[in-house]
Amino acid sequence: MKHWNISFAGCGFRSIYHLGALSCILERVPRLVHGASKICGASSGCLVAAALTVGIPMGEFIVFVKLLLLCLLRAVQDILLEKLPADAHLRASGKLCVSLTRLSDRQNVLVSEFDSREELIQALLCSCFFPVYCGFIPPSYHGVHYMDGALSNNLPLFEQRNTITVAPFSGESDICPREGTFNFFEVHYGNVSIQVNTGNVHRICTSFLPPGPEVGGDDWLTVSLFLCAYWIEGIS
């Protein structure tokens, strides 16, 4: 296969799965990531895709993604402004593909060109905005309000046969957990195949729950202090 894409499904706090999968891929077959024509993502998956696309080193990459996954959406913008390089939009244009859901008609929009770093950040924020959970007023991109890309297309470019799909739910994705039992039923949500089993029920439920300190380690403490400072600033 001369050309291929990689697409990361949005899954809230379950995106920690992407870190494990990527650590293995970058150790064993780094060309699978570095040689991809497009790196795609929706919701939290687009944050992983963006970090890969702009070339954040793996050591910083792990901390970067954990911080993003554990923070409130209003704090994510500050982290992106701090961590993304000044030319992030140039690195991302033509390679990063972000899935958005247009608020007015619930239609999917894929964005791959960015005129500035601020425009790139705004697209990422729109793709991560889950209604109610993240607030009630969705962010805008080019003057149009968008919400979580997973609501309309959780695996951008999944329909192309050369796209490698990554999802933390057992199903038909190319890279995903494997259950030890047979599964005769599956559902599709935003183009992601999800088998009906107890493992996936747990994964879906915990997608909306931040991992505890035993998962986050020192980063969890860093995030806790960050959030406390942010909340204190907000009420002062």
Burial 220-236 (b: 16+ CB within 10 A, else e): beebeebeeeeeeeeee
- Contact (CB, 8 A) for 130 and 148: yes
pLDDT higher at 213 or 54: 54
Token pair recorded at residue 178: 């494997």
- 43 part of the active site: yes
**Mean pLDDT to the nearest integer, 168-181:** 87
Distance, CA of 138 to CA of 7 (rounded, Å): 24
Give the mean pLDDT of the chain. 84
Distance, CA of 39 to CA of 35 (rounded, Å): 10
pLDDT band at residue 233 using 50, 70 and 90 as cut-offs:
very low
**Mean pLDDT to the nearest integer, 30-36:** 92
pLDDT band at residue 82 using 50, 70 and 90 as cut-offs:
confident
- 148 part of the active site: yes
Does position 203 have pLDDT exceeding 80, yes or no? Answer: yes
pLDDT higher at 161 or 221: 161
**Mean pLDDT to the nearest integer, 177-200:** 83
Q: Find the catalytic residue in 7, 127, 148, 170.
A: 148
Q: What is the pTM of this model?
A: 0.84
Distance, CA of 93 to CA of 189 (rounded, Å): 27
**Mean pLDDT to the nearest integer, 106-122:** 97
Does position 222 have pLDDT exceeding 50, yes or no? Answer: no
pLDDT for position 78: 83
Transcribe 76-91 into DSSP letters. Answer: HHHHHHHHS-TTHHHH
Number of Cβ within 10 Å of residue 102's Cβ equals 17
pLDDT for position 70: 58
pLDDT band at residue 136 using 50, 70 and 90 as cut-offs:
confident
pLDDT for position 232: 42
pLDDT higher at 157 or 134: 157
Distance, CA of 101 to CA of 94 (rounded, Å): 20
pLDDT for position 226: 41
pLDDT for position 135: 81
pLDDT higher at 15 or 150: 150
pLDDT for position 131: 87
- Contact (CB, 8 A) for 205 and 199: no
Strands 140-141 and 5-8 turn out to be: unpaired
Backbone angles phi, psi at 121, to 5 degrees: -60, -40
Does position 52 have pLDDT exceeding 70, yes or no? Answer: yes
pLDDT for position 5: 97
Token pair recorded at residue 88: 């992030």
Q: Find the catalytic residue in 7, 15, 43, 193.
A: 43
Does position 19 have pLDDT exceeding 90, yes or no? Answer: no
